Structure 1
């Protein structure tokens, strides 16, 4: 680029940052511009955004150059052009935004609110083949969150789906994806066999159990003939076999955990640059520090075209518009909102019977930031949306017991409520075996479930529990997310959850899809204030009860005081 300033002796070819000086002699000298590549990029963006076809000059950039011809040394003092040569960050941001919009046009929000009360899946715009498959599975009426999420996702919006545990969030994002991907997709120009090769959807889950559960849902909808089109990549399984299955089956949908997907991707065995959908299920868990490096790789590769384009100079800003990002969670703390704004494009917040901008909810930002996990547990973000994440048909109780009597209290609670399928939560892995031993010694079939068990042992235990061979499943926080046992009618907290979010996810294992359920927290006397704090944060009535004569009796206020006094006296 030649910039002609004045007389031949003043000809120059250079761009420079402010406060820099260049001395030109009698001959034209070409100067290196490698140290100011960033300045070139800004100039190129401005030219492209305004559609200029002429040469790039200082005047076209809004710069001024004044040369004092009286100076004997014949030099141009660019340092004196301080105010003229500064380009504001706001101008650069405006140029980047204008180019970003040219790459990925913002979708306007056009959601028919009548769909929120849809009586059939056929009203939501799904593929006819998919609707037929749903009817064969006995699924005809969508839940509230499905009625809101399905048409929004079909309109290509990036979304954050929030609803209580067990409300049908998995199908809320699977159905619109299957309506666009695979053999059940909508016909294109009457051609039903137009299947694109390659991976078109990647679904990330924080645990193996949740990942395998999602795979089973997809396989059920695809049918035996096409179930190979979904592939699981979860930790704890043989990686070589998973890579062989990827090469042989050529799946369209990948479901897995962050570590294994990042591992296979780094090995060059997983190509996801052409992916159309990225789903982050239980996204608040995926934001924890443990997943940070793996999630970074996934977000950098999924849906990012590898082919070089002029817009690639913008990096992620332009390329991220090539995928549709779907975040799913029962709770939406500040960390999730920040992630949605960073990873998505104008994301919408989808709740039961409501769709709106993500800015429609206000979450107090934490005063300091150390890590995503710290933000999730901060006081400002903990309570946001937690009450909405609880199944509506639940009853909440707590009872006071000494630590050595907790297992016996659990057994009495199961009998008093006549619960057939029970999940008991503890905070640590070590005591699980002891609880199982005590329950079985009293004639109650039970088993433990935790991360230290092998894949086969975990699968076998879950199958027995779902088939009714086990009455009590004793587990830790592992099963608080992703464990789908619709028949579960009682959740017992043998140890107090660490916060209201963990309470909500534990409680969500019962009362699923509109069923009734009960949650009982067994605590010691000094822990009662924690239960009351959870009650205030959740905004639900957690009633104190006692177990006498094989019945669960709710205590009145004066009886509560008497029980507390009695506990203090006996201790």
Structure 2
């Protein structure tokens, strides 16, 4: 097994303890790009503890200093993404002792899990709200945590009014930083000095405004975008070519990057949020279909038959339309299921496993539910309802074409939405999105 280009470019920088903003198209191996350095930090700490007398655990409030051995904390916006990261970390082997802290799960069982693992805990993965609850209630302490990873960082720290994570996230990082600065003398941890924490941003779409917000609210000092060579060769603006810029100018602070691109933030906000983002896999083909609004779901069904897809993800904008889509498509011979925010955790996990194992052919989801989902066999994405902006389109399209596999993205637009379609086409001018017709289940 060989590392991907994005892993080769980013792992040495992360191991060196430098703040990093990692951007590349989905399915390029970004998760392993930060899990492998965390594994190395964990092994270094184990070797250091083996060479000297183990520091005795100090009694704290109620449960004492629990989880003080964790070298890293990974924050993700959704429960499904947290479970996926936890599964990958446990598969590595060296990070077998991982604690998952997500909302909707039994908090008492999570406390018992933290207490049972104790100093053996290597990594904490969770959602911002639940992590903050455990830290403020002193159920979890992370004095040795030297790295905080924000997976899907654009969703976590964006300035969008829909963002509910930003406040918890800044308080979470500040609390970990205080615990690290006040850790007992002789308690080693991480790869950085004193109370400083290494911040790693990971996403398929990182705009200058997101980087600026991270600099102001999280205290990031050095930022470099690491972009896969395939993205750089796709006719994208040179300002996104981080490798070339870093070779010419060296490391830059976030404020310097914002100064150099001070006009980018305004340009990214124009055209109702549509902007060019270099994060689309080159192995994916894109198409668009125009139909009347009332025929959207029927068109999606015909597209599934026309492409003869193995796994299909259908994206809609609201939970209610997700249920309507499932009800109408299930009346045909297509087996499908769905995910929604109000589902119990066990039911969501069951539906997701059915889709991964091939028991159902199609899965209907909303944008939030599908953030970071990794299904290697998914070869088709259908946007039954158009995305809100280009960032949503990028993350939807990233569910297919994983690790260089071929994939197809079909977007269904109403005739009245041609203006929205033109804005999207203008933002994604570096890729070809032809218009197709589907007649009697056959693509033309």
- TM-score range normalised by the length of the shorter chain: 0.7 to 0.9
Judged with a 3 Å threshold, the aligned counterparts in structure 2 of structure 1 residues 536 and 426 are, in CA distance, closer, same or farther, namely same
Correspondence for 2:80: 209
Whether the aligned pair in 1 keeps the contact of 2:4 and 2:28 (CA below 8 Å) is yes
Distance 2:99 2:262 in 1: 37
Correspondence for 1:230: 98
Q: Which moved more, 1:267-276 or 1:251-260?
A: 267-276
Whether the aligned pair in 2 keeps the contact of 1:272 and 1:301 (CA below 8 Å) is no
Deviation at 1:336, TM superposition (A): 1.9
Distance 1:207 1:467 in 2: 21
Correspondence for 1:296: 170
Match of 1:492, SS state, is strand
Deviation at 1:528, TM superposition (A): 1.9
Distance 1:320 1:525 in 2: 59
Distance 2:53 2:422 in 1: 58
Deviation at 1:345, TM superposition (A): 2.3
Whether the aligned pair in 1 keeps the contact of 2:20 and 2:224 (CA below 8 Å) is yes
Deviation at 1:247, TM superposition (A): 0.8
Distance 1:300 1:322 in 2: 10
Alignment of 1:126-141 (within 5 A): 140-141=1-2
Distance 2:45 2:181 in 1: 27
Alignment counterpart, residue 338 of structure 1, candidates 208, 212, 217: 212
Alignment counterpart, residue 395 of structure 2, candidates 493, 502, 505: 505
Match status 1:475 vs 2:365? yes
Correspondence for 1:165: 26
Distance 2:40 2:392 in 1: 33
Whether the aligned pair in 1 keeps the contact of 2:300 and 2:382 (CA below 8 Å) is yes
Correspondence for 2:3: 142
Correspondence for 2:223: 347
Deviation at 1:273, TM superposition (A): 3.1
Q: Deviations over 1:103-131 (max 9, x none)?
A: xxxxxxxxxxxxxxxxxxxxxxxxxxxxx
Alignment of 1:190-339 (within 5 A): 198-222=69-93, 227=96, 229-250=97-118, 251-288=121-158, 289-304=163-178, 305-307=180-182, 322-339=196-213
Whether the aligned pair in 1 keeps the contact of 2:339 and 2:363 (CA below 8 Å) is yes
Judged with a 3 Å threshold, the aligned counterparts in structure 2 of structure 1 residues 203 and 551 are, in CA distance, closer, same or farther, namely same
Alignment counterpart, residue 364 of structure 1, candidates 245, 253, 263: 263
Alignment of 1:400-415 (within 5 A): 400-415=290-305
Match status 1:444 vs 2:334? yes
Judged with a 3 Å threshold, the aligned counterparts in structure 2 of structure 1 residues 235 and 324 are, in CA distance, closer, same or farther, namely same
Deviation at 1:321, TM superposition (A): 5.8
Deviation at 1:334, TM superposition (A): 2.4
Runs of 4+ aligned residues of structure 1 deviating over 6 Å after TM superposition are: 192-196
Deviation at 1:383, TM superposition (A): 5.4
Judged with a 3 Å threshold, the aligned counterparts in structure 2 of structure 1 residues 383 and 172 are, in CA distance, closer, same or farther, namely farther
Distance 1:147 1:195 in 2: 35
Count of aligned positions: 392
Match status 1:552 vs 2:443? yes
Judged with a 3 Å threshold, the aligned counterparts in structure 2 of structure 1 residues 230 and 446 are, in CA distance, closer, same or farther, namely same
Distance 2:306 2:276 in 1: 32
Q: Deviations over 1:19-65 (max 9, x none)?
A: xxxxxxxxxxxxxxxxxxxxxxxxxxxxxxxxxxxxxxxxxxxxxxx
Correspondence for 1:127: none
Whether the aligned pair in 2 keeps the contact of 1:206 and 1:286 (CA below 8 Å) is yes
Whether the aligned pair in 1 keeps the contact of 2:275 and 2:390 (CA below 8 Å) is no
The Cα RMSD (Å) is 2.7
Deviation at 1:195, TM superposition (A): 8.8
Distance 2:194 2:427 in 1: 37
For structure 2, list consecutive stretches of 5 or more residues without a partner in the other structure.
56-67, 185-191, 230-241
Match of 2:287, SS state, is strand
Judged with a 3 Å threshold, the aligned counterparts in structure 2 of structure 1 residues 505 and 549 are, in CA distance, closer, same or farther, namely same
Whether the aligned pair in 1 keeps the contact of 2:311 and 2:379 (CA below 8 Å) is yes
Judged with a 3 Å threshold, the aligned counterparts in structure 2 of structure 1 residues 402 and 189 are, in CA distance, closer, same or farther, namely closer
Larger radius of gyration: 1
Whether the aligned pair in 1 keeps the contact of 2:271 and 2:423 (CA below 8 Å) is no
Distance 1:244 1:514 in 2: 41
Alignment of 1:14-163 (within 5 A): 140-163=1-24
TM-score, normalised with respect to structure 1: 0.64
Whether the aligned pair in 2 keeps the contact of 1:303 and 1:323 (CA below 8 Å) is yes
Distance 1:148 1:522 in 2: 37
Q: Deviations over 1:324-353 (max 9, x none)?
A: 111111111123211343322223322225
Alignment counterpart, residue 412 of structure 2, candidates 511, 514, 522: 522
Judged with a 3 Å threshold, the aligned counterparts in structure 2 of structure 1 residues 381 and 266 are, in CA distance, closer, same or farther, namely farther
Distance 1:385 1:186 in 2: 42
Q: Which moved more, 1:300-309 or 1:494-503?
A: 300-309
